[in-house]
Amino acid sequence: MIPTSYPSAEEIARLTARMLLEIGAVHFNADEPFTLASGLPSPTYIDCRKLISYPRIRATLMDFLTVTVMRNAGFEAFDNVAGGETAGIPFAALVAERMALPMTYVRKKPKGYGRNARIEGDMSEGQRVLLVEDLTTDGGSKLSFVDAIRDTGATCGHTAVIFYYGIFPETEKTLGDHGVALHHLCTWWDVLAEARAQGAFDDATLNGVESFLNDPRAWQAARS
């Protein structure tokens, strides 16, 4: 079923944050920071992969993501939905089902044998492809997936994620300079607001997180 009518973007952001908190996907710890894939410290960590184990939340968020993309990009804007290996694959499949479109996925690198392919599934020249991922931080990792899609002769001008950090100002410019528009459901600011409303963490923890969100680079530099 293709969803066509859902809450405002603001309410979608609040509800998404609430769901992420409810399943324990949000982790805050300013005293013992997490190490991100970049190697930099962070008092925040989010595990969107957990969503696949919660059917009601999973279905609701995929409806939200589908309608967000359609509202922003158009109802007939795509011919194919691609997931980024690995976290984006289940979400791409669920969005593709809702949009009644073919689904493919993009490997991080060629698999090294057989066809040595990066694209799995059927993607053809001229197709307009939506790249679906679980989250984005600074947008950099999306570019390799986009380039792999474009190497097939398809186009890719949009990426959709459940969670966007929303704290690195260069992210949307990085994607925009590469000809890619970003669509998302919520950010760390939405999660922080909902965590405060729920009293999900103590005030000291939330204040430490807010300090990081206001100037993440300075926070990381002081602890690296």
Domain ranges of the chain: 9-217
pLDDT for the residue numbered 110 = 81
Q: What residues are designated binding site for 5-phospho-alpha-D-ribose 1-diphosphate?
A: 107-108, 111, 133-141
Whose structure tokens read 């009644």? 100
Average pLDDT, the chain: 93
pTM given for the model: 0.94
- pLDDT tens profile 162-197: 999 999 889 999 999 999 999 999 999 999 999 999
User: Beta strand 155-164 with 181-186: parallel, antiparallel or unpaired?
Assistant: parallel
**CATH code of domain 9-217:** 3.40.50.2020
Q: What residues are designated binding site?
A: 107-108, 111, 133-141
Backbone φ, ψ for residue 182 (5° rounding): -100, 130
Q: How far is CA 168 from CA 81, 103, 182, 206, 217, in A?
A: 26, 30, 14, 19, 9
Those residues of the chain that have pLDDT short of 50 are: none
Q: What residues are designated binding site for orotate?
A: 137
pLDDT for the residue numbered 62 = 97
pLDDT for the residue numbered 113 = 66
Burial level of 117, CB count in 10 A (0-12/13-18/19+)?
middle
